[in-house]
Amino acid sequence: MAPGGCTLEVVDPAREEVVGTVPRATAQDVQDALRSAEAGFGAWRQVDAWSRSRLLRGVADLLRQRLEEVAATLTGEMGKPLPEARAEVLAAADHFEWHAEEAKRIYGRVIDGHSREQRLFVLRQPVGPGVEVGPLASWRRLEATERLVADALARGARLECGGRRPPGRKQGFFYEPTVLSGVGPQLALMVEEPFAPVAPIATFTDLADGLAKATRGGGQVPACGHDEKGFRLCRTLR
């Protein structure tokens, strides 16, 4: 409970029903939390690596033990399809377990390949197509998505598919998977994360042009490739 006693309702985005409440923090609560975190970090940094590892592994174990409970909570508060919620919980557990192992061997070294063209990589195999559509997290997110798509269309983007709420649905913050082509760098969609199933497609003339457009808004830029161009792209990014 926040010191002021105020709460926020948690709404199921698929049914628009209140499923719980959470404390509503004030600015002072945030400052108190930051001071506590700073003090906690001072204590945590004194813990030896093996003890850190045991604690992190314990978190992974608890997440796996409470998989169904945590996944159901994710689905209720965010609208994420239950199989995806389970996968997210298990992925979080894997992250904690990985860091638990790494905590015991923080060597401060980066091991490269035998040459600049060699890197370790993960080979992904196709498992077949499949799409599950979940609702957006809130009414505000749905409105923001509609604003971004409308802005893109007004500025010359082309709607290839989607671009609307699913017809026939009277409840829930659902939005159809949407693809926009002819997207220019001036669009709000290119600098604001939609947190929605909206895929803008932008073209570029060469690698330099593509990098300039991709990094125009700052932030992180994911890069995918299947040959030496992908490695060259990763080395170019800063």
Instruction: Give the pLDDT of the chain (238 residues) as one tens digit per residue.
Output: 556 678 989 999 999 999 999 888 888 888 888 899 888 887 887 888 899 899 999 999 999 999 999 999 999 998 889 999 999 999 999 999 999 998 887 654 555 666 666 655 544 333 335 556 679 989 999 999 999 999 999 999 999 999 999 988 888 999 999 999 999 888 899 888 889 999 999 888 887 887 777 777 665 666 666 666 666 666 666 6
Question: What is the dihedral sign for C-alpha 145, 147, 148, 150?
Answer: positive
Decide if 113 contacts 120 (C-beta within 8 A). yes
Token readout for 76 is 């209720």
List, in order of start, the domains of the chain with CATH numbers: 7-102 (3.40.605.10), 139-236 (3.40.309.10)
SS3 of residue 25 by DSSP: coil
Residues contacting residue 34 through CB under 8 Å, at least 6 positions apart: none
In 27-183, where does DSSP find H-type helix?
27-44, 49-65, 67-78, 82-102, 139-154
CA dihedral 219, 225, 230, 231 (to 10 degrees): 100
